[in-house]
Amino acid sequence: MPSFKSSATQVAITAAVRESNGTPVTTLKRDDFEIIDNGEARAISSFWFEPSAASVVVLFDRSGSMRLSDKIDIGRDATRQLLGWLDAGVDQVSLLGFDRDVSRLQPFEAAPGHILEQLAHVDAFGTTALLDAMATAANEVTEHRTRRAVFVITDGLDTDSRATAMTVSRMAAGIDVPVYVVITTPVVDRTNAAARTADLSELARRTGGEAFIVTTPGEAMLATRAIASDLHHQYLMAFASDGTPGWHALDVRVKQQKLLVRARTGYDAGVRAAGQ
């Protein structure tokens, strides 16, 4: 497999492509894609698509608000379902728990690992520093070079972060780590949850991930299946940056086809991201 580590001149991108019905698209070639960097088309210098192991950090909200309305149980079930979609003994998983601070509850090991056992003992208490925890989790997975992601289980409430959503999204996008957020909420609060977590949805999109509001086991199944499908069907590519310092907006497209492409929306040139 070629190296897809970003450098001073080479920018690596992972991209997942779906049809409008959510079916992954796995037959595209280098020439099917185009990359627009700050409004300029860039030639794809490296391209690769083959099955390989995924590396996932599970970031689990254990703040006090997760006690309410069975949200912590919804989160445990969503995590169980995600682990069921991963390739046992092949994919790598780790577990971080967070409230005001972040704790490593399980280091990386082959899926499914001992995450469910750890979550059985997680109690919900304290304030929520969600955005700070997401920044920590994104850095946790940077040493894993391909098919990596952060899987966040939370009710979306943030009462104690120092970081902003824009800061975290730019950091995660800059190191090419898609963030997937599963927002646990009871049925009665579903409409409020959508409005309250709009910033989280935008953060996930900017990193090449997605946000889901989950109330039922069926919704958890659909969300986690989509996440695992993205992880296992990512296209890996790289291009040469012109090196202009500062933030570069990225647009990764598929030519002449109405397909949904998930990829990071930018990178910082002249800034060496953590872990790179």
pLDDT digits (tens, 9 = 90+) for 2-16: 444 555 578 999 999
Give the residue numbers spanning the domain of 140. Answer: 1-257+264-276
What pLDDT is attached to residue 156?
81
Rg (CA), the chain: 18
The whole-chain average pLDDT of the chain stands at 87
Question: What single-letter DSSP state applies at residue 65?
Answer: G
Average pLDDT, integer, range 127-134: 86
- In the sheet with 260-263, reading across from the earlier edge strand, the strands are 44-48, 234-240, 10-18, 260-263
**CA dihedral sign, ordered 153, 154, 160, 164:** positive
Which pLDDT does position 145 carry in this prediction? 62
For residue 24, give the DSSP letter: B
What is the structure's pLDDT at 143? Answer: 75
| Interval 255-264: pLDDT, tens | 977 899 999 9
Among 110-124, 133-147, 175-189, 193-207, whose mean pLDDT is lowest? 133-147
The total domain count for the chain is 1
Q: pTM for this one?
A: 0.89
3-state helix, strand, coil in the chain (%, to 5): 30, 30, 35
Q: Higher model confidence: residue 89 or residue 4?
A: 89
Domain at 272, CATH number: 3.40.50.410
Tokens of 19: 């049809």
pLDDT at 100: 83
